[in-house]
Structure 1
Amino acid sequence: MHSALLAATTADYTVPQVWRILTKTGYFIGLSGTIGATVTYATTVRPALRAAEADPEDTAILRRRSAIHLAWAGVVLLVAGYFQLAARVARSGKGMPFGDALAPGEIWSYLRAPAAKGAWIAQGTVYLVQNVVLVATAALLIALFAPAARRRTDAVALAALPLSLAVTLIAAVPATKPADLDRWLDLALDQTHIVAGTVWLGGLALLVVLAGTRNRLGNGAGLLWADMWRRFSLVAMTCVAAITVSGLWLSWKHVGAVSQLWTTGYGIALLVKVLLVAGLVTAGAFNQFWLMPRITRARRTDDTASLLHLTLRHFPKVVWGEVALGAAVLVVLPFLSGSARTEAGSPKAVSDGTVFAGGAALVIALAVSLYATAKASEALSRRLPAPEAS
């Protein structure tokens, strides 16, 4: 009975084709690899490596591993970007087989198509500019395979950062003027969601890759890694706040009632995504309230052995779990097509003063909670018992 009801209520939902799942997931993996890695390198890795107490040998090892990771991220972005562009061609107009859409001639025709009536720019032109920037970003990062470019890893990463952000931001430029404020907010908060998510997931991936060098690092590397985990924790908390605010807006726009989370195809996909993200947040909370206080305590008491174990053995194990959950989130994304409101026949969501007031209150509450989280983690580090003498 229940399965029959579910089938009836999800009748208007179309499961994406396999090529669509692979291309969209691959594209977001590519964005995570470039946006997340460059932002994390700029905000977390580079400042820690430039610290006065960092060992030169450890710094050289980590900088080289970062450069290689960024170079491979460029390769993935280039390949994923091509398949994503072909997927756009396959879905445009009356559609065509994905295999046919891979042909360069079909792609070029799509990019050069004239603007639609009433549009200020052709949609193909928007994607042409986006992919020019994508190729430039990938080429810049791929150059890090060369030893000469690796000597300038900082400069290359910092140059690639705004370019990688532009890849997703340009694609969001509307070909026609948005009809109202809600549509502008949809565009802005959708990009906020994408950027925050890719920074979080891509940053986690970079750090676990760097942690793989632990057997080559010196005994004092725990201090360096304590600084990196501390810095990235702040980045991750900011991303969580941005994802929460933008995610709630987007969910409200597409889901008209809580019951639609399990009675519509879109809602089921969203529910799975929310559960996976909740797992990510739980792992992050464990890091913040259990691992970080112990790392801070070990750092304060000069317990080198404990610091090395916590930062390069224990912490990466938890982060690997987060990376796995993040990969699952990216696999779910292609299934978020359409809208639960449309499937259920619910009216379109329209914002008003009450919605904006609630959003402002939520932003303030999240800011307060982030500050309280940081203070609570610091307080816990002071309350922990001193490590036993070996």
Structure 2
Amino acid sequence: MIDLRMVQIVWESPLGTAASSRPWSDPRAPVLVRGTVAGAATLVGATLVAVAFTEVGHSLGDNRAFLAALLTLHILTGAFWVGSFYPLFEVAGEPEGHRILYRFGQVAMGTVAILALAGLGFAWIAVGTITGLTQTAYGVTLLAKIVFVAMLLGLAALNKLFFVPALRTGEPGAARLLKRSIAFEAALVLVIFVATATLTSVTTPPMNLD
């Protein structure tokens, strides 16, 4: 921290590029301003935050532009989904909450499809072979992440197909079951975050072992 030469090396690396871009792309900045301009500024800020993640990690390998695009899409769609948990949890207990939940389910279908395709595309390029998926630490950790994501998708489908319709028809206990399902989704996301941190910080993808 006090060696200026080392500090300069860090700032001139991809890590320095990512760190210096994030303060300018903080999407919380326009939170006190309302309207179209604030919404656009927030979207641009969130996109720049996602792009900053492409400056470090495994997206710096071959096919960098394609990997960066996939990672940006993956982060943005994941943030949209995860960021919806708390407001959906709150609105589940509202009298007309089923309308918002139904509309979210329609939007989320496309969002989740993009999330999954971008993640799988990035994973395929990073791993490349079945052997790399089953016989490397990166591949095994990725498989574990995929299992938890599949469980998350299962809960999301359960919400859309059963709990939200039950809430709309006023079935007893529907709001409680929906809130419990959303809470389980949030818990699974924490586990997925741990797996993702392991993939990016501890293990190395087979494409970088050649």
TM-score normalised by the shorter chain: which range applies?
0.7 to 0.9
Contiguous gaps of at least 5 residues in structure 1? 1-99, 117-121, 142-148, 215-220, 346-390
Q: How does 1:66-145 map to 2 (within 5 A)?
A: 100=1, 109=8, 113=12, 124-125=16-17, 127-134=19-26, 137-141=27-31
Contact 1:111–1:127 (Cα < 8 Å) also in 2: no
TM value normalised by structure 1: 0.45
Give the distance between the partners of 2:6 and 2:43, measured in 1 at CA: 27
Residue 222 (1) aligns with residue 85 (2):
no
Q: CA deviation at 1:127?
A: 3.8
Give the distance between the partners of 1:342 and 1:170, measured in 2 at CA: 21
Change in CA separation of 1:138 and 1:294 when aligned onto 2, cut-off 3 Å:
closer
Change in CA separation of 1:287 and 1:131 when aligned onto 2, cut-off 3 Å:
same
The residue that corresponds to 1:193 in the other structure is: 74
Letter in 2 for 1:291: F
Q: In terms of Rg, which structure is larger?
A: 1
The residue that corresponds to 1:239 in the other structure is: 111
Change in CA separation of 1:107 and 1:284 when aligned onto 2, cut-off 3 Å:
farther
Cα distance per residue 1:3-55 (max 9 Å; x no partner)? xxxxxxxxxxxxxxxxxxxxxxxxxxxxxxxxxxxxxxxxxxxxxxxxxxxxx
Contiguous gaps of at least 5 residues in structure 2? none
Q: CA deviation at 1:277?
A: 0.1
Give the distance between the partners of 1:280 and 1:179, measured in 2 at CA: 29
Contact 2:73–2:114 (Cα < 8 Å) also in 1: yes
Q: CA deviation at 1:194?
A: 1.1
Residue 168 (1) aligns with residue 41 (2):
no
Q: CA deviation at 1:342?
A: 4.7
Q: CA deviation at 1:184?
A: 2.0
User: Of the candidates 184, 206, 210, which is equivalent to residue 340 of structure 1?
Assistant: 206
Point out which structure has higher relative CO (alpha carbons under 8 A, 6+ apart): 1
TM value normalised by structure 2: 0.77
Number of equivalences: 202
Give the distance between the partners of 2:109 and 2:5, measured in 1 at CA: 43
The residue that corresponds to 1:267 in the other structure is: 139
Identity of aligned residues (%): 24
Letter in 2 for 1:335: T
Give the distance between the partners of 2:25 and 2:107, measured in 1 at CA: 25
The residue that corresponds to 1:318 in the other structure is: 181
RMSD across aligned positions (CA): 3.4
Change in CA separation of 1:171 and 1:251 when aligned onto 2, cut-off 3 Å:
closer
Give the distance between the partners of 2:119 and 2:23, measured in 1 at CA: 27
- Secondary structure in 1 matching 2:188: helix
Give the distance between the partners of 1:320 and 1:291, measured in 2 at CA: 14
